[in-house]
Structures are given as C-alpha cells and as structure tokens.
Amino acid sequence: MSKSSLKQTLKDLDTKKISIRELNQDYLKRIKENENLNIFIHFSEENVLKQIDNLEKDNSEKKLKGIPIAIKDLFCTKSMPTTAASKILENFNPTYESFVTQKLLDEGSIFVGKTNLDEFAMGSATNTSFFGNTINPLSQENEPLAPGGSSGGSAAAVAADLCLGATGTDTGGSIRQPASFCGVVGIKPTYGLCSRWGIAAFASSLDQAGIFSHNVEDASILLQSIAGFDQRDSTSAKVDIPNYFENLDDDLNGKTVGIPKEYSIDGTPMEISQIWEDAIKVLEKKGVKIKNISLPHTKYALPTYYIIAPAEASSNLARYDGVKYGFRSDEIDSLDEMYENTRAQGFGREVKRRILIGTYVLSAGYYDAYYLKAQKVRKLIADDFNKAFKECDFIVTPTAPSAAFPLNEKQNDPIKMYLNDVFTVPASLAGLPGISIPFGKDKNNLPLGIQILGKHFDEQQVFNAAVSLERSYE
Amino acid sequence: MNNLIKGEKHDWEMVIGLEIHAQVKSNSKLFSSSSTKFGSSPNSQVSLVDAAMPGMLPVINKYCVEQAVKTGVGLNAKINNYSVFDRKNYFYADLPQGYQISQYKYPIVGEGKVTIDFKDGTSKDIRIVRLHLEQDAGKSLHDQNPSKTYVDLNRSGVALMEIVSEPDIRTPDEAGMYISKIRSILMYLDTCDGNMQEGSLRADVNISVRKPGDEYGTRCEIKNLNSIKFIKQAINYEAKRQIEILESGGSIEQNTMLFNTSTGKTRPMRNKEEAHDYRYFPDPDLLPLEISKEEIVKIKSSIPELPDELKNKFIETYKLSNYDASVLTAEKQTSDYFNETINSDSELKNHAKIVVNWITSELFSLLNKNNQDLNNSPVSPENLGQLIKLISTNEISGKIAKDVLGDMFSSGKTARQIVDEKGLQQVTDQGEITKVIDEVIAENPKMVEQYLAGKDKLLGFFVGQVMKLTKGKANPKMLNDILKQKLNKKN
C-alpha cells in the first residue's frame, strides 16, 4: 500500500474495502520497520491493539474512526507517558488528556505513539531530545538528515507513512519548518484556535497546536477536528469553526497575494528563490493579482522572538523543580541544592541556554531594554501584517531558508540554528495562521516548502491557496 | 496629641505603612475551582492547576474580581477598568508554579482612603495606595518529620487582596486602629471573613523612624503578622531597635524582618545577597482584566451600608457621640445588634444612649466572661430591648436589671418572664414606700439624730435599709424624695 490519503482511507473504511484492524496493522508494520529513525519516544503495539479492540466494539459513527494518528510528546495523554523529550519528565504519566488529543479520541482516532521533539519544543532539528535524534526519513543512507524541529518526530512520522496525520505544536516555526524538511503539509493555525490546555508550555503567548498530513485536504479535515473554544484556556478564541474541507475552493481568481520584499534575504539558496518565483507564477496564471508588499519590521522578528520566547519559557519551566512530579536528583542536602541539581541534571543544554537567556532579559535593570522593547517591536510586526492584509488576501513566502541539513551540522552553533526560523517567526509573533506545503525540490532532490500566511482566523483562505498550489504542482 | 517617642538624645517619630493581605471570601480559588474551605486535610483541595501540572492553565474566578471591586469601593478607592496579572518568579517548595500570579504595574484598585476615630473625638485619614489580587502560596510543614519537609497545597492558589497604605501611620495604636478599620470594612462588605487566627487577614509592616520634620528614614519590613497585638509589639520593638542604632551613630539597613512572637523581637529574614529579583512580567496565560463601567455600577449598587455611613447615621438619628457610634459600627454584628434592639420598640429610640451602654458594657462583659460571641448571644436583641424598656418605664431599677440580664443570659428567659416570676417590679406606690420609710426611721432613732446633726452621708444608710426591706424594688427616685422629705420634717 503506497501512501494513501486520510480522505481516501475514510472512504475505504466506510465502504468496508478495508477494516480498522487491517489498516492499523499495516501502519504498525511500518512503524516497526522504521524503528531506526527514532521517530517515537513512546510506542506500544499492545496499546494500539487495545484501541483497535475498543473501536471494533464501538458502533457509533465517528468522523476519524480507526484513523492512525501520531501525537507529539508535548501533549499530555492519559494512555501514554508524556515527556516533552526531557529527562525531567521521564516516566511522567498524566492523569489528564489534553484538549486537542481528547478531541481526536472523541472522533475515534487511534494514537499510534508519542513522537520525538526537541526538548520542550526548543530547537529546529529534533536534536535536543533527551531520547536522541530523529532521522529524516528522506535521508540517504550515507548521510542522515535532520527532520527539522521541534515537531520533527511528527513530521517524520507522516513522511515515513507511519500514520495518516500527526499533531504538532508551533511556537516559532516548529510545525512549518519540519513539514518543509520532510516534504509534508504542516499547518499552524491562528493563535487561540486550538486550546493549549494540556500541552506542556514553552512560550505561552506563541505556542499553538497544529497538524501534519500528507496533503492539504487531509490537513483541513484534521484541523477542524482539533479546533474549538475551551474555557480552560483564557487565550482560547470563541470563533465558529467552519468545515474547512467542505469549503475548500481552489479557484483563486480575483484574489490578491502579498509578496513581502523583506523575505528576499541575502544568502538564500537559489533553489529557494526559484520555488518562490514558481509559486508566484502559478498563482498569476490562476488569475491571482500579485502585490508587492512591505513588512518593514521583519528584520527584528528573530531577535524579538529570541527574547520573548525564552522569557516566557524561563518562567513556564520553573514548575519542573523536583518537588511534585518528574525527575528529582538524588544529591540533595538542602532545598536550594534540590533545585540546582534537579534542574542541572534534568534539563539539556538548549533548554538551560534558553532559561538563562529568559532569566536575563527579565532581570531588574534589563527588563525595559529587552523584554519591554521586544513587546513593543512585536506590536509593530503585527501592525505590519495588519496593514499588509488590507491590500492582500494571503501572503506567500518560502518556509525555511534551506532544505533539510545533515543531522549534526548546526549542533554547536545556536545562532545558525535560530536562523532556520527566519521566515516562520514573524507570523508566530503576529499570531497568524500559516501552512507549509511541499513545492519543488533542491539539487539533491530534497523537498522545499512554500509558506502561505493568512489573516487571523482565516484558515479557510490559507487552505484554499494551499490546495490550489498543491493541485497545480501535482 | 504627642506621638513622639523619647530616645536618649532626641525625640523620634515613627513612620509606618501597612500591607494587608486579606483572603477573599469565595468558595473557590482565584484561578481554579478547588475549594477554599479552612482546616481540611492536607492536599485534599488541590486541582491540577493548583499543583502546576504540565500544560495546566489559570482561569480567572470572576467572583473574586467582583469581591475586589466591592472592596475597592468600600475603601473609597478608584476602580481601574483595566488591570493586568503578572508573574512574580521565585522558587519555593510550597510555590508549585515557581511563580505567584499577582498584579504589579496595573492593579485592579487604585488610590483610596479610610478614616480612623480616636477616643477624644478626633479622627484621621489613612491613604490607600492600591489594592491588588494575587494567589496565596501553599504551606511548608517542617515539624512533621525530623529530616523532611512536607508541603500542603490546600492554600495554594487561594485569592488574596493586598491592600497597601501610604506611610501615614505614626503610632502602634494607629496601626492597630487602621487594621481594625480595614477588617471592619471587609466584614461589612462580606469580602473577607476577617479571621486573623486562621490567617484570613495578615499584615506586613513597613517602619522607619525620623526626627520630627526630617525626611523619611530607611525602612524595614516586618513580614506576616497575624494579630493586632503582635503588630503593635513588633512596631514598638523595631522602632526601639532602629532608634538605638541611629543614636549610636549607625545607619539602618533596608531589610526584611521576621517577628518572633515568643521573644517579642525582630530579626532579619535574609541578607542582601539572597534578595530576590522577582522578574515580574505579564502572565501570558491570562488576558488583561477589563471591567466595564456598567459592571462597576452594578457592583456599587450591591454594596451594603458601610461603617462610616452607619456611624454618621447613628450620630444624626440618635444623637450619639462620634466615639460611641464608632464603637457600635466597628463590627457589623454590633451595629446589626444595635439596630435590631433599638427597632424592637418605638420607645427605645428616645433612650439610644442607654441601649448603647447596655450592649457595649453589660452584654459585652457577660459575653466575654462566658467566651461567647455576639452572633450567638443567648440574649436576643428583642429581649434586651424589652429589658431596657422595663428600665425606661421605671418598672425595674437599673440595678435589678443587671441581675435580670444575668438571669436572661443563663436561662434564656425573657426579661418580662423573669420580672414577673420573681416579682421584681419596682414599687412605685407612694404609700407603700412611705410606709417602709416610716418603719426604718422609727427603728433607727440614733441614726436619725446623727443625720439631723449634720451627718448627711447617713442618707445612704436609710436608702439601703429601705431597699433591703423592699428587696431592691423601691423606685430609687421616689425613695430619695420621700426619705429626704420625712427626715427634714423631723428637724
């Protein structure tokens, strides 16, 4: 069975062409065959079989009944441990189910396992995980590639066809960049569309759950399933969730696309500029008006992000102190030592680096110069988009400044690593929806992604533009 | 009034400001639905949010917000339409999130003031800087095990109002009166139960000393005092300590102090190197708190009469003194009791001062003696009203009334019942009283002689004898009048 879509599988299940058991056994087989890629932190065949048993006894109609889904190990799940890829949460078993995963369970989907990520979602290569690197399924045997990050495990799971969809979270690009690296579709919806309840927090004002899938149609089906208001999350939005899939419309005639000049960055590989131009040409042919726009504060987005996200993280991760749950160091002679040793041994390098940065920028005497200023710039960046969206319906840019890079390439250069987020971070700061779809390849035949950004809560327009580009590319 | 304290070399003035932490009266916590019931078994009232489990998020309890707004109105303060919750970051075992959610730059309530009343009839305004909402921490239990500390999170996340005063207080007594007044207002509003023993109301005291007319000196903060007595003791000790340092040529180091209730001394809580940098920043899990004008108006309209309004009403309606009225209104239960008593009979309105005296001296002393509270007084306001009516209509004397009250207190009977059963009605029959007086005069010729010879004091002897024979029931005024008349006739 070659990669079948979620849409087709739902039909096949409906017409009894295939049973839930047969379907999932097929995926189980591939999961076991691909263990070397280290895609899952937690996988239990027994657990999957149990879910199949239960669904077979369940006669109710469910939208995603029997569909194998992979869950980023940042979502708290009752049936599987939740680690955030950190030693500090090794063996942590939540007694509660996150909003997003509960919705997927309610729809009847089957969780095949918990996918690997950068520790606490901090990274761009899934190489800061306590449980080791994930390998991009598109790697050649002699050169293992990074799947991107932080949701690298979920992107790789879809790319290796180990599931029909996966959840991810995106704080500065953690869904879109790995989607681009692995050649799959990844959507980060508007901040507030999906409740953050039950997702271990990295940066609260930026974290947003989203979806990986084989194609845009599948993403539209899955996103609808996980979206919705949740009174347990004060930043969750009270908006009506349209039926994205039913409303998909690839006719873009008369629409206007914004092309931001600031996204042409010196040193961007030719191939990236090329696919961007290709995408614009395709759109033009479809009757889309091309509008050159300016997002003048784009260059401040990365530094702004790398102040705000670590600041929030430094506080969000304070709860991992060894007192209540998770890892606690054995070497304790005092309360202070318990904190010091637990956190020194429990967190990895990248997490510690960001906690230190965050603590620094919030410190007395530095707050105004860093955090407060970053908040002001964040507002300017959001205003840039608001202005631009008065003149266009959606914006098209490359997703990432490169194709998947070799696993250990940027390990010791955090700045280089942070530059991966250059095209994805501005929309995160503005809270806008963004999708990455595969669009072209580089000279090594590695996939490259195009990013489509939309107005707040205008996921439908993002899907429409994406499906239109996708269909023209296929 | 002289508020100065004498040092060895100069007179000194204390400058005091209070931060009061008042637990919001609410069934559930500030950001979770856990119960706030006091005295439950450890960790039985802890939600996933209170324990700061991964991915858990705070959601504001609207009732606590209303309570804070109500309190702000009661403190004559500005209500801010826009306020922000911030995170105050520090590590402690009983602080599960690693930060306390509080309000830093934009509190829910701004400047206000309260008035304190002195015995001499004067009063003074203490200005309020702000009131903000914040979470309480849990409790570390160090005494359960020789080598371990346990943590009880029942209190973790309970809503507190921090009420910050300007440094307008000048004496320990004023500090005591100020916190009593705040407590009284909160209890009238029903926004805090005011129970200091259970920790529902605690205060941090900021204190410095200066020579009169000088700039403010360097202050120290004494943390977490939970009784008015300790507040006064701590202030007195700390002021003396600071004066001694200054007079011996030293300088005060700004410090956070703890007060040891058994030694009565203050000591530094932490040194400078351990000083916290709380890294306040707006909590990204919560949206700014916006309260519309309409909501504020609605809350304002739900507010009951407050002590100062009630005090003025009592002064005007019943011609009471400022001090009497402020004693009556200091606690809601007292003013309620007074209102019910005085309204139990239309006649009593003309005897308000007597009603005040019977409540605040006679009834209070019985309650104190029996360790009881006015709320559960065995003597109902109606029954006390009836007793006072019996006095005011001369049916019984004040002296007998005291015994009757004691009887009412222990038996639960009404004044009428007791007076009837025991036949305690005053004798107001002139003939009857005259008869007894004649008897006494006839039996004590020597005393009469001495009295007539100028020993005026003996009048009391005759009164006593008559009272004895009438079992105290003779109307005192009539007795006096007739007795004097009779004796003077002898002359």
Percent of chain A with pLDDT over 70: 99
Residue of A77, A167, A319, A347 to mutate for B, most B C-beta atoms under 10 A? A319
Report the relative pairing of strands A40-42 and A110-115 from DSSP bridges: antiparallel
d(CA B478, CA A243): 97
The mean per-residue pLDDT over the stretch A422-432 comes to: 97
**If you measure CA to CA, which chain A residue comes closest to B153?**
A324
pLDDT, average across residues B334-347: 93
Nearest-angstrom CA–CA distance, A152 and A402: 15
Give the per-residue pLDDT at A1: 38
Q: Tell me which residue in B99, B277, B286 faces A318 most closely, judged by beta carbons.
A: B99
Cβ(A134)–Cβ(A126) under 8 Å? Answer: yes
Closest CA of chain B from A86, distance in Å:
12
B-chain residues near A201 (CB < 8 A): 54-55, 285
**Domain assignment of residue A340, yes or no:** no
Over range B477-487, report the average pLDDT.
Answer: 86
Q: What is the mean pLDDT of residues B350-376?
A: 92
Strands in A275-354 per DSSP E:
289-293
Contact A134, A39 (CB under 8 A): yes
pLDDT at A34: 97
Assess if residue A215 is contained within a domain.
yes
Cβ count near A430 (within 10 Å): 23
**A389 within domain boundaries:** no
Q: Classify residue A311: in a domain, yes or no.
A: no
Report the mean per-residue pLDDT for chain B. Answer: 92
Q: What one-character-per-residue DSSP string does B426-446 give?
A: PB--HHHHHHHHHHHHHH-HH
Residue from the list B93, B281, B285 with its beta carbon closest to the beta carbon of A335: B93
* pLDDT tens digits, one per residue of B111-130: 999 999 998 889 999 999 99
DSSP-derived pairing of the beta strands A68-72 and A110-115: parallel
Tell me if B54 and A89 make a contact (CB, 8 A cut-off): yes
Within 10 angstroms of residue A30's Cβ, the number of other Cβ atoms is 17
CATH code of residue A184: 3.90.1300.10
User: Is A213 in the active site?
Assistant: no
Structure tokens, B49: 């949010």
The residue of chain B with its CA nearest to that of A323 is: B93
Chain A CB contacts of B93 under 8 Å are 323, 335
Flag whether A434 is in a domain: yes
Å from A320 to nearest chain B CA? Answer: 8
d(CA A161, CA A153): 12
What span, in angstroms and rounded, lies between the C-alpha atoms of A251 and B113? 66
Find all residues with CB under 8 Å of B436, minimum gap 6, and list them.
B466, B469, B470, B474
Within 8 A by CB and 6+ apart from B108, the residues are B65, B68, B69, B72, B79, B80, B83, B131, B132, B133, B289, B291
User: Phi/psi class of residue B152: alpha, beta or left (left: φ > 0; alpha: ψ in -120 to 50)?
Assistant: beta
Domain with CATH 1.10.10.410 in chain B: 430-490
CB distance B117 to B322 below 8 Å = yes
> Contacts of residue A314 in chain B, CB cutoff 8 Å?
89, 279
> How many Cβ atoms are within 10 Å of B31's Cβ, its own excluded?
27
Cα–Cα distances in angstroms (integers) from residue A34 to residues A5, A158, B441, in the given order: 20, 12, 123
Q: Are A314 and A307 in contact (CB under 8 A)?
A: no
A132-191 residue pLDDT tens? 999 999 998 888 999 999 999 999 999 999 999 999 999 999 999 999 999 999 999 999
- Specify the DSSP element, H or E, that contains B134: strand B123-135
Active site residue A234: no
Domain that residue A8 falls in: 1-297+396-474
Q: How many interchain CB pairs under 8 A, A with B?
A: 96
Q: Which of A39, A61, A43, A65 is nearest to A52 (CA)?
A: A65
Quick one: pLDDT at residue B275? 67
How high is the pLDDT of residue B274?
Answer: 63
Q: Is A129 a catalytic residue?
A: no
pLDDT of residue B433: 87
The pLDDT value given to residue B457:
85
The conformation of residue B362, written as its DSSP 8-state character, comes to: I
Please give the structure tokens belonging to residue A391: 């003149």
Residue A2 has pLDDT above 60, yes or no: no
A233 vs B: CB within 8 A: yes
Q: Distance from A353 to chain B by nearest Cα, in Å?
A: 17
On whether residue A76 sits in a domain, the answer given is yes
Residue tagged active-site, from A86, A109, A150, A195:
A150
Collect contacts of A413-422 with beta carbons under 8 A, ≥24 apart: A414/A350, A414/A353, A417/A123, A417/A124, A417/A125, A418/A124, A418/A302, A418/A306, A419/A302, A420/A124, A420/A125, A420/A148, A420/A173, A420/A177, A421/A124, A421/A172, A421/A173, A421/A177, A421/A302, A421/A305, A422/A265, A422/A301, A422/A302
- pTM of the full predicted structure? 0.90
Instruction: Write out the two tokens for B483.
Output: 């007795």
Residue A428's nearest CA partner among A175, A246, A132, A216 is: A175
A267 contacts A233 by C-beta, under 8 angstroms: no
Active-site annotation holder among A72, A255, A286, A410: A72
Residues 6+ apart with CB under 8 A from B229: none
Chain-centre distance for alpha carbon A128: 16
B97 contact residues in A (CB cutoff 8 A):
318-319
Q: Find chain A residues with C-beta within 8 A of B58's C-beta.
A: 234
Cα A64 off chain centre by? 21
Q: Which residues contact A261 (CB under 8 A, 6 or more apart)?
A: A292, A293, A294
The beta strand positions in B250-326, using DSSP E, are: 255-260, 265-268, 281-282, 289-290
pLDDT tens per residue across span B146-173: 888 899 999 999 999 999 999 999 999 9
Q: Nearest CA to A176 among A149, A207, A198? A: A149
In this prediction the ipTM stands at: 0.96
DSSP state of B35: B
Query: What is the total count of domains within chain A?
Result: 1
The CA–CA distances, whole Å, from A471 to A396, A445, B48 equal 16, 20, 46
Mean per-residue pLDDT over chain A, rounded: 96
* B430-490 CATH, one of 3.30.70.920, 1.10.10.10, 3.20.20.70, 1.10.10.410: 1.10.10.410
